[in-house]
Structure 1
Amino acid sequence: MGKSIDELMEYLTGLGIEVSTVRHQAVFTVAEAQDLRGQVAGVHTKNLFLKDKKDNFFLVTVDEEAEVDLKTIHTKIGAASRVSFGKPEKLLELLGLTPGAVSVFGAINDTQLRVKVVLDEDLMAHDIINGHPLTNEATTSIRTGDLLAFLRATGHEPLILKLDGSTPN
């Protein structure tokens, strides 16, 4: 069983990281979450829990508007083969998360460091990043530098790569 939102908040406080959290109705997709815009400042994320044929797992976090090419992303993130979405059972086992609640905050539950965290370079250009704090009934805003500090404190040194395949307008 993964940590609770309260345990996550205590962990962040223990690291000296200040966050802001807004509770809301459960959301399961980026489209549903977009209906809540205006309540929470900062960039909002899309998170992909992926695996390759050798059961290497990846948590890829990008701006919610980013386009990720699943046919080629394996060449960027160091996967042993093309990737597919990880099963909900593995998501729960490794990150303590359920579909719809996936975010980088799940790294707190990956104590065996089985999941490689990959952050999009464009996402990291923002001052504030938003993600679900282990539940899809809330959104937590964290400063970019604090997000990196949190990930490193959990033992995850994130890969920061250019992943968004869309072209700017």
Structure 2
Amino acid sequence: MNKQEVYDFLYDKGISFEITEHKAVYNMDELAEVELPYPDADAKNLFVRDDKKRNYYLITVKGDKRVDLKAFQQQNGTRRLSFASADDLMAIMKLIPGAVTPLGILNDAECRVQVYLDRDFLDAPDKIGVHPNDNTATVWLKTEDLLTLIKEHGNTVQTVQIG
């Protein structure tokens, strides 16, 4: 799904959302230069894989958090983790680096990616800001709505405390 298809999908599902259009951003430093309506709800997304390239994970945390992959591995019982390649990202979620988002799960036809969402997103205001499969906008929606979309698509999703 491209950006407009994501908007249409959310609309068709009856999900309430807001859109902030902005310049293309490729990392959290660049996003910090953009004026956002809910800066405390923006998400940082890490697409990682295990050392055997058998399991892929999307780790989504609040934008100001750091993720210790070794600690994550120990807490969640995974094999050793490292960042997945741009080729894997394109093959599995049809995304480019800088546009990684939980909404990319909608492009994961084989439901290969396991999603780990930081539990902090469930706190008030229960809102999360993610790219609509394109790094020129941020979509703001309820965290529970995002979790429901991922589950309905068929990917596993867990809310865990990260960082």
User: TM class by shorter-chain length?
Assistant: over 0.9
1: CA distance between counterparts of 2:12 and 2:77?
32
1:13 to 11, 16, 20: 11
Structure 1, residues 78-116: CA drift from partner, whole Å, max 9, x if none?
42x210000000001111111101111101001201100
Q: Give the TM-score normalised by structure 2.
A: 0.92
Alpha-carbon offset, residue 148 of structure 1 = 1.3
Structure 1, residues 107-154: CA drift from partner, whole Å, max 9, x if none?
100120110011011123242100111011111101112111211221
Identity of aligned residues (%): 33
Matched residue, 1:117: 115
Letter in 2 for 1:76: Q
1: CA distance between counterparts of 2:41 and 2:8?
23
2: CA distance between counterparts of 1:77 and 1:15?
32
Are 1:72 and 1:82, in contact at CA under 8 Å, matched by a contact in 2? no
2: CA distance between counterparts of 1:159 and 1:142?
18
Alpha-carbon offset, residue 67 of structure 1 = 2.0
Superposed counterparts of 1:81-160, under 5 Å: 81-126=79-124, 127-160=126-159
SS of the aligned residue for 1:60 comes to strand
Matched residue, 1:162: 161
2:37 is the alignment partner of 1:40 = yes
Letter in 2 for 1:70: L
Are 1:60 and 1:118, in contact at CA under 8 Å, matched by a contact in 2? yes
Matched residue, 1:73: 72
Matched residue, 1:167: none
Q: Which has the higher helix share?
A: 2
Letter in 1 for 2:48: L
Matched residue, 1:59: 58
Structure 2's unaligned 5+ residue stretches are none
SS of the aligned residue for 2:11 comes to helix
Alpha-carbon offset, residue 49 of structure 1 = 0.4
Q: Give the TM-score normalised by structure 1.
A: 0.89
Letter in 2 for 1:44: D
Q: Which segments of structure 1 move beyond 3 Å, counting only runs of 4 or more?
A: none
Report the count of equivalent residues.
160
CA RMSD of aligned residues (A): 1.3
Alpha-carbon offset, residue 71 of structure 1 = 1.9
2: CA distance between counterparts of 1:31 and 1:18?
28
